[in-house]
Structure 1
């Protein structure tokens, strides 16, 4: 991505009556803050990633109302009102507060009254966004309004931002900080669970401590081997090195959250275990068809792994917008792991969930995400960001897919003045040809796949397989 060569560019940004000004402009030197190592990593080739969140609305879209809400909510966060400026002397980047013209960030799609399939029109519009990058002469985010009625919505919006602004959980946090409950217009939404996160399983016994040390050692060894040479098996869902530059097709499918909870309670596992198990089952179902087309069976010895990000915060609670820069909620506070995906044939569909539970239980008793987070900082300090970028690219390329699960609000919400039907986050720019993201909203769970169509030409079939896997797993759970 092109970067700004001089902070003088800040003075040339256009403003009008909708512009938001900041006192920080008068004391620029005091307010310049460097990007964190993880945020800086997201500007490197192979890691230059954008997050997109598709928002379906139940009510007719009013662009002027949306713009007003964006000015009074999103722009209160400094990340959305700052440029990312490169320092040529040390190849670092800094946040530079600037004036923001909301019209430069809100894009209203031209409606096509003669379109045969509104759903396909919206899908194509979202896919075409992955062909483009946001110009670095303005804060790296935009908001697209697609005022086209589909089978599920009265209109669709796409919130897009560069991953350097924040990770998935922090971005979901700021969106929900802009939202209010439909049932109580003065109240912030609530996230599922007790809003407490702790990556490493806590235990005071010597045995537990030894287990964490051993798991961490094995995981870090596998991580380093992956960074050096250990590749996943060549399969129909594993892309080439050119996948990062390809257009992505975004397709999503919703399932009932009650079905997930039924399996969760039947097996006494976590919500994430169930969706991870369903993803493994769905991938096996999809691969079985792809291999059958070649008149061969799915091999039993496939090495398939996902890069999965772990939140390193102590809480997921939604904070007020004025607090988000200072209370540790914001930014890229993540570490990632290389997670084995067991996509072999299982006689009992519940075994996919049981295996996912065992794998995640061991991963939670490991310091791998913490070490990978510190590893980025250490290598950048010793060798520079270019080396970090190359190592990260190697790890991601040697795995098969990316996987993410972001908790969403438990109740119906109003966001930017409109009632929300669904939220579906994803990303593009990564090396993997497949990225599966999961987000909950009210009474549904949204599975969204982002695919390189040259590798996975039938993403709707993959979504069908994910949905059918949930049905099979639920049916087995009901027999317990």
Structure 2
């Protein structure tokens, strides 16, 4: 390998917006910049409903995956380790969970691509295709008031919290890559999540689904939902659990490991915290992912690699 001299045109890589220095309201400009994020996200949602599908990859199931049997596996890691990385990198638990998942999926897919090489094995570190479009469908609660509300209050005409499900869709892109710096997985995760926080994608997708339901009926709304879900690769979620020990029928609960099946995915990943533990639960179609325990291990090992990188660089 050797360096090849080339010319770099900064104008193709650095985009500086032309701002009016005498604008009436900087806050208004920021709001406009946010609706822009929303326009892009809603366009991607509509494109996915119509034609845009994820590229074929070792985690993407075949049509009919919702009817296949599932194997549910889990691993439990220390929540303190995740908080350690979070505090050292000034991020959130969501960012770290997303970052370690990106790292784990990248390790897993890279290994599969290596094993599938025609020469019977790979000697290169990076055996990934040049580009992989791999997205998760994330469900977001858009209720204006969190928590459990009284039924009588929700049934009132002008109640702040309406009756029924208020769930929006967010298409969350996963970056599949082999990175020299393990911390880049968390940095990239933070950038993606921060951008999604600045978008009104969840609200718009909720109203699109609600509009389809009211105008065309439940079958059309279900078909729209199925198309969006089936054209992405997986489902990813991170839920906050109890911070104190709870019991069930007089027995203390060791950990929580929720999951589900019946969706047109070959892979669902759920992060569930409980006291000082974080449990990673995988629901997989073994026809697509025959070694789910290895995938679980890749995600867990990625957390350790990221933590070691934080310690090595003295960021803690």
Give the TM-score of the pair, scaled to structure 2.
0.82
* Contact in 2 for aligned 1:438/1:448 (Cα 8 Å): yes
What does the per-residue CA deviation read over 1:252-277, in whole Å, with 9 as the maximum and x for residues that have no partner? 10110011001111111111011011
What does the per-residue CA deviation read over 1:144-182, in whole Å, with 9 as the maximum and x for residues that have no partner? xxxxxxxxxxxxxxxxxxxxxxxxxxxxxxxxxxxxxxx
2:223 corresponds to which residue? 390
RMSD: 2.0
- Sort the Cα spacing of 1:419 and 1:330 in 2 relative to 1 into closer, same or farther, 3 A: farther
How much does 1:418 deviate?
Answer: 2.4
* Contact in 2 for aligned 1:300/1:344 (Cα 8 Å): no
Residue 439 (1) aligns with residue 269 (2): no
SS at match of 2:44: helix
- Sort the Cα spacing of 1:408 and 1:382 in 2 relative to 1 into closer, same or farther, 3 A: same
Q: Distance in 2 between matches of 1:404 and 1:204?
A: 34
Task: Work out which structure has the larger RCO, using CA pairs closer than 8 Å and 6 or more positions apart in sequence.
Answer: 2
What does the per-residue CA deviation read over 1:53-80, in whole Å, with 9 as the maximum and x for residues that have no partner? xxxxxxxxxxxxxxxxxxxxxxxxxxxx
2:299 corresponds to which residue? 466
Q: Distance in 1 between matches of 2:239 and 2:167?
A: 13
Residue 427 (1) aligns with residue 260 (2): yes
How much does 1:443 deviate?
Answer: 0.6
Q: Distance in 1 between matches of 2:187 and 2:248?
A: 37
How much does 1:330 deviate?
Answer: 8.2
1:229 corresponds to which residue? 51
1:411 corresponds to which residue? 244
What does the per-residue CA deviation read over 1:210-235, in whole Å, with 9 as the maximum and x for residues that have no partner? 12200000000000001111111101
What does the per-residue CA deviation read over 1:390-448, in whole Å, with 9 as the maximum and x for residues that have no partner? 11111111111111111101121123432111111111000011010111000110110
1:299 corresponds to which residue? 129
1:308 corresponds to which residue? 138
- Sort the Cα spacing of 1:272 and 1:336 in 2 relative to 1 into closer, same or farther, 3 A: same
SS at match of 2:139: strand
* Contact in 2 for aligned 1:308/1:336 (Cα 8 Å): yes
What does the per-residue CA deviation read over 1:354-403, in whole Å, with 9 as the maximum and x for residues that have no partner? 11111111101111101111111111111111111111111111111111
2:95 corresponds to which residue? 273
* Contact in 2 for aligned 1:306/1:338 (Cα 8 Å): yes
Q: Distance in 1 between matches of 2:278 and 2:26?
A: 36
How much does 1:299 deviate?
Answer: 1.1
* Contact in 2 for aligned 1:403/1:436 (Cα 8 Å): yes
Give the TM-score of the pair, scaled to structure 1.
0.55
- Sort the Cα spacing of 1:315 and 1:380 in 2 relative to 1 into closer, same or farther, 3 A: closer
Q: Distance in 2 between matches of 1:324 and 1:409?
A: 24
How many residue pairs get matched?
A: 275
1:283 corresponds to which residue? 105
Q: Distance in 2 between matches of 1:441 and 1:329?
A: 30
* Contact in 2 for aligned 1:239/1:432 (Cα 8 Å): yes
| More strand, by proportion | 1
- Sort the Cα spacing of 1:260 and 1:221 in 2 relative to 1 into closer, same or farther, 3 A: same
* Contact in 2 for aligned 1:252/1:463 (Cα 8 Å): yes
5+ residue gaps, structure 2: 1-24, 155-160
Within 5 Å, give how 1:23-172 maps onto structure 2.
none
What does the per-residue CA deviation read over 1:260-310, in whole Å, with 9 as the maximum and x for residues that have no partner? 001111111111011011111000111111111112611131111110111
1:238 corresponds to which residue? 60
5+ residue gaps, structure 1: 1-202
1:351 corresponds to which residue? 184
1:332 corresponds to which residue? 165
Residue 207 (1) aligns with residue 29 (2): yes
Q: Distance in 2 between matches of 1:416 and 1:204?
A: 57
Residue 248 (1) aligns with residue 81 (2): no
* Contact in 2 for aligned 1:283/1:462 (Cα 8 Å): yes
- Sort the Cα spacing of 1:420 and 1:379 in 2 relative to 1 into closer, same or farther, 3 A: same
Q: Distance in 2 between matches of 1:389 and 1:230?
A: 18
SS at match of 1:424: coil
How much does 1:315 deviate?
Answer: 5.4
How much does 1:243 deviate?
Answer: 0.5
